[in-house]
Amino acid sequence: MRESTGTRERIKAVALELFTEQGYEKTSLREIAERLNVTKAALYYHFKSKDEIVSSFVEDRLDRMDALIAWADEQPSTLATRRELIARYADSMFATEQPSVMRFFEQNQTALKSLAAGQQMRDRMFRLADALARGDESPAAQLRAALSLFAVHSSWFAIRAPRVTDEERRKIALDVADELLARIADG
Amino acid sequence: MRESTGTRERIKAVALELFTEQGYEKTSLREIAERLNVTKAALYYHFKSKDEIVSSFVEDRLDRMDALIAWADEQPSTLATRRELIARYADSMFATEQPSVMRFFEQNQTALKSLAAGQQMRDRMFRLADALARGDESPAAQLRAALSLFAVHSSWFAIRAPRVTDEERRKIALDVADELLARIADG
DNA sequence: GTCTATACGTCGATAGAC
DNA sequence: GTCTATCGACGTATAGAC
């Protein structure tokens, strides 16, 4: 079943890049195929449809999110747990090739709404926010929890100062996230 | 030059609604025309192209942003200024029909990157963030400024608690934004 | 496992009649 | 100011040869 040349992986890589750069809708299969010097039909051998390409690189991420949520559910609703949770989330974001998948999601919110994979990710983000705010059902807590997640994400583009390393971005994001989480009441 | 029936305004309204609901790329001119019981060609009488429809309802908003930035530039770099600035921003967001335009922007980040109107809005958002962080050039200040803006925006969807009024959302958003802004050093 | 060839729909946009 | 008719390009997807 596994072909030797890794065409499937190459398709995933190119698709991720183009979907992120120009958007899911604006990227045609013809364009992906041309970059790889194969035909559109070749793509259809590896993936049933265009959205199945998306699902393929979203699955890993969904699994990570599920693991994170499951872990959080077993912990007490304390500030320490919230801090540990956001740190683990940041790690899973900054690790390996995940940043590119993360950027893809940020860039394709709209397109993802009509895709199964997108709805699942949306769902997981809300559940993660709920886990971060657990024990404090106030609207303000919901907003702070969501913003702490967004602190991790936006550290990639909101920080425009020159010569800031990934590690520094991560630290700054977590510092700001911690401030927000500190204002959520323990359950 | 002005037609009596206000067709142009009706086109804008329907386009804004559909672009927001399903995304700019996924909404065709045919769809917009059908809703209005006219043909595509009629749309081209009122607008030179699809993206010109977008520009038409973005212009107001750009003007508001420019006014806000100009005002901020004349003020001292103090916490009081930052708080006043974010409050004015929130007001301009929650006022009149602006929430729908705002939602359109949130839903079409990707598509807007290749549209002139989108690039202009992006530029204004960064300038507003810079105005909020003026006097503190640290990366953390940039992140806090961006997050305070996002607090205003995300209050619309991040707060999922039932029976929260718009006015309450506005207040919560500004409370959280103020916390973030308080950590930015005065210039 | 990858190709050629093609079906068939829809897109944004234009020309020209009324 | 709105219409009909049409353009050329491109979209996803499939059939079937090699």
Q: pLDDT (tens digit, 9 = 90+) per residue, B97-108? A: 778 898 899 889
Q: Are A185 and A137 in contact (CB under 8 A)?
A: no
Nearest CA to A121 out of A112, A110, A111 is that of A112
If you average pLDDT over every residue of chain B, what do you get?
Answer: 94
Nearest CA to B177 out of B93, B58, B69, B63 is that of B93
* Tokens representing residue A99 in the block: 């940043």
Report CA-CA distances (Å) from A87 to A82, A92, A116, A148, B156. 9, 9, 28, 10, 26
Tell which wins on pLDDT, A4 or B71: B71
Residue A3 pLDDT > 60 = no
Q: Which CATH architecture has domain A1-47?
A: Orthogonal Bundle (1.10)
- Give the C-alpha separation, B36 to A153, whole Å: 40
Residue A5 pLDDT > 70 = no
Give the bases of strand D that a protein CB approaches within 7 Å: 1-6, 10-16
- Give the C-alpha separation, B21 to B13, whole Å: 12
> Whose structure tokens read 């072909």?
A3
- Nearest-Cα distance to chain B for A37, in Å, is 26
Instruction: Please tell us whether the domain made up of B57-182 is placed in CATH 1.10.10.
Output: no
Residue A109 pLDDT > 90 = no
Cβ-based contacts with strand D at under 7 Å:
A 28-31, 40-41, 44, 48-50; B 1-5, 7, 33, 37-42, 45-46
Per-residue confidence (pLDDT) for residue B87, from 0 to 100: 98
Which B residues 81-110 touch A at CB under 8 Å?
106-110
Indicate the helix (H) or strand (E) that contains A141: helix A139-154
Q: Report, as an integer, the average pLDDT of A125-150.
A: 97
Q: A113-151 burial by CB neighbour count: b if 16+ within 10 A, else e?
A: eebebbebbeebbbbbbbbbbbebeebbbbbbbbbbbbb
What is the per-residue pLDDT across A37-50, written as a single tens digit (0 to 9) for each?
A: 999 999 999 999 99
- Give the C-alpha separation, A113 to A107, whole Å: 12
- Give the C-alpha separation, A119 to A123, whole Å: 6
Q: Which CATH architecture has domain B7-46?
A: Orthogonal Bundle (1.10)
- Give the C-alpha separation, A139 to B164, whole Å: 8
Q: CATH 1.10.10.60: which residues of chain A? A: 1-47
Report the distance from CA of residue B154 to the C1' of nucleotide D7 in Å, as an integer.
Answer: 44
Q: CATH 1.10.357: which residues of chain A? A: 55-182
Q: Which segments of A5-138 does DSSP mark as H helices, in order?
A: 7-22, 29-36, 40-46, 50-73, 79-94, 98-107, 109-113, 116-133
Q: Report, as an integer, the average pLDDT of A62-68.
A: 95
Tell which wins on pLDDT, A46 or A6: A46
Per-residue confidence (pLDDT) for residue A27, from 0 to 100: 95
- Give the C-alpha separation, A82 to B125, whole Å: 30
Backbone phi and psi for residue B36, each to the nearest 5 degrees, phi listed first: -95, 0
pLDDT band of A1, cuts 50, 70, 90 = very low
Q: Tell me the three state secondary structure of residue B129.
A: helix
**B68: left (phi > 0), else alpha (psi -120 to 50), else beta?**
alpha
- Give the C-alpha separation, A76 to A63, whole Å: 22
Report the distance from CA of residue B40 to the C1' of nucleotide D6 in Å, as an integer.
Answer: 13
* A21 and B CB contact within 8 Å: no
Q: Do A154 and B159 touch (CB under 8 A)?
A: no
Q: Report, as an integer, the average pLDDT of B51-58.
A: 95
- Give the C-alpha separation, B85 to A46, whole Å: 52
Per-residue confidence (pLDDT) for residue B5, from 0 to 100: 66
Report the distance from CA of residue A39 to the C1' of nucleotide D8 in Å, as an integer.
Answer: 22
pLDDT band of B81, cuts 50, 70, 90 = very high
* Tokens representing residue B158 in the block: 């991040």
Domain covering A55-182 in this structure, CATH number: 1.10.357
Residue A66 pLDDT > 60 = yes
Q: Which residue of A has its CA nearest to B144?
A: A176
pLDDT band of B155, cuts 50, 70, 90 = very high
Q: CATH 1.10.10.60: which residues of chain B? A: 7-46
Backbone phi and psi for residue B106, each to the nearest 5 degrees, phi listed first: -65, -35
Q: Report, as an integer, the average pLDDT of A118-123.
A: 93
Residue B78 pLDDT > 60 = yes
